[in-house]
Amino acid sequence: MTSVLISGAGVAGPTLAYWLARSGFRPTVVERSAGPRSSGNPVDVRGPALPVATKMGLLPELRKHATHATGMRVVGTRIRVPLGDGEEIELTRTDLAAVLYRAAEHDAEFLFDDTITALHDDAGGVEVSFERTAPRRFDYVIGADGLHSTVRRLAFGPEERFVHHAGLYVATVALGGTPAEPHDVMLYNLPRRLVALHPARGEAGAAFIFRGPALPSSEYRDLDRQKHIVTTVYRDAGWRVPALLEQVRQTTDLYFDAVSAVRLPRWSTQRVALVGDAASCVSLLGDGSSLAMAGAYTLARALAEGHGFAAYEAEHRKLTTPKQQRIALGAGLLVPKTRLGIALRNTAGRFIL
C-alpha cells in the first residue's frame, strides 16, 4: 500500500487524507497543534469546494456550523450588500477544520503535537524525521501546513523566496458576547485601514486590516509587539474602535500576520508536493479555504489515477493563478489608500463589494 505523509490538519490536509484513503493509499497526518484546531476566522466553502464537500457528504454538517452573516454594511453609508448565493457556506476555520478532521479521522493515522524536522527524498521514498515520533519512511510527503509551511522550507528553500508581502497586515480577535448586529458584517474604513466586525455564530470577532511595508517577521512575533502595532495604527480611529482596541489590549489570543501571497515555480519535487496555502496562499484575499479543498481533491485524484504531481499542478493552477492575479485589486477594494478611494469604492459598492 502506498504511504503518504501529510503535514497539517487544517483544511487541505484532512481533505487530502479522506480522498487518498478512498483510493487505497495509506495516509498519515502530522499536525503541530495538540488537537484539531485552527484560527477562528470566517472562511468559505464555495465554487470548486462545493462539489468536493458534496461528494464527501458534508454539506448538512457544514451548514450546521454556518455563521449568521447574511449581509455586509459599510459604516457611515446606507450600503448593505447581501452575502452569499444560497449555495456557499461561510463558517469559521476552526469549524471547517473540525468537520473535515471528523470525516477523515477513521481512515488516516493522525499524529498530533508533532512536526517534521527533516526530509530526505531518495529514489525509493522519503526518510522523515519528526520532533517526537521516531523516524519513518513514506512513499510521498505532502505539505498542507499553511502559509508558513515547514515542508516547503525543507524541500524547496527558505520562506523569503516564496512568500510575498501583499502590502497589508491582519490582526483578528474574538470579542465574545452577542454581536450588536447579529446578521451583518460591519466595515469601517479609514485611509489605509479597515476594521471589520463579524457576527460569526453569535459571538462577534473583529479584524483589523491595514496597509504597511514588509517587515521582518521578528518585528511582530511577540504578542505585546503585535498589540502595540495595532493600537498605534488605529489610535486616532473613531466609531467603536477605541473600545475594540481595549479588547485588543486585554486579549491573550490575537491572530496577527502579514497578508501574503505564496508563489513557487513548481509545487513538487520527485516525492514531495505542496497543497493549499503552502503552495499558493492568497491569504484573506480570495477563497483560500475553497482552493485548499479543491486542490486536495485534485491532488488525490491525480495520484490515484497515476498521473502524478504534474497533472495536479497543471489542473489546479488554472484556479489559483487568477486569484493570485487579483490580490492587488482585492486589497484596493478592501483597504483603499485615500478618502477619495474609499468614497469611490463605496459609490460602486453595490456592484463590487
**Which residues form the interface with ligand FAD (CB under 6 A)?**
7-13, 30-33, 38, 41-44, 93, 115, 144-146, 150, 170, 172, 207, 276-278, 283-284, 287-290, 292
Strands 184-190 and 71-74: parallel
Closer of 18 and 76 to ligand FAD (Cβ)? 18
Closer of 24 and 86 to ligand FAD (Cβ)? 86
CB of 45 to ligand FAD, least distance (A): 8
Contact (Cβ atoms closer than 8 angstroms) between residue 74 and residue 317: no
CB of 88 to ligand FAD, least distance (A): 10
CB of 123 to ligand FAD, least distance (A): 25
Closer of 11 and 53 to ligand FAD (Cβ)? 11
Alpha helices in 185-287 (DSSP H): 223-233, 241-250, 277-280
CB of 11 to ligand FAD, least distance (A): 4
- Dist. CA 251–CA 295, nearest whole Å: 35
Cell representation of residue 52: 468536493
Contact (Cβ atoms closer than 8 angstroms) between residue 185 and residue 83: yes
CB of 301 to ligand FAD, least distance (A): 18
Say how many residues make up the chain.
353
CB of 293 to ligand FAD, least distance (A): 8
Residue in this structure with the C-alpha cell 493563478, named with its chain if needed: 321
The backbone torsions φ and ψ at residue 336, rounded to the nearest 5 degrees and listed phi first, read: -60, 155
What amino acid is encoded at 7 in this protein? S
Closer of 200 and 284 to ligand FAD (Cβ)? 284
How many CA within 13 A on the CB side of residue 280? 30
- Dist. CA 281–CA 183, nearest whole Å: 28
DSSP type of residue 47: T
Contact (Cβ atoms closer than 8 angstroms) between residue 229 and residue 169: yes
Closer of 195 and 347 to ligand FAD (Cβ)? 195
Closer of 277 and 302 to ligand FAD (Cβ)? 277
Closer of 150 and 324 to ligand FAD (Cβ)? 150
CB of 257 to ligand FAD, least distance (A): 6
- Dist. CA 240–CA 192, nearest whole Å: 18
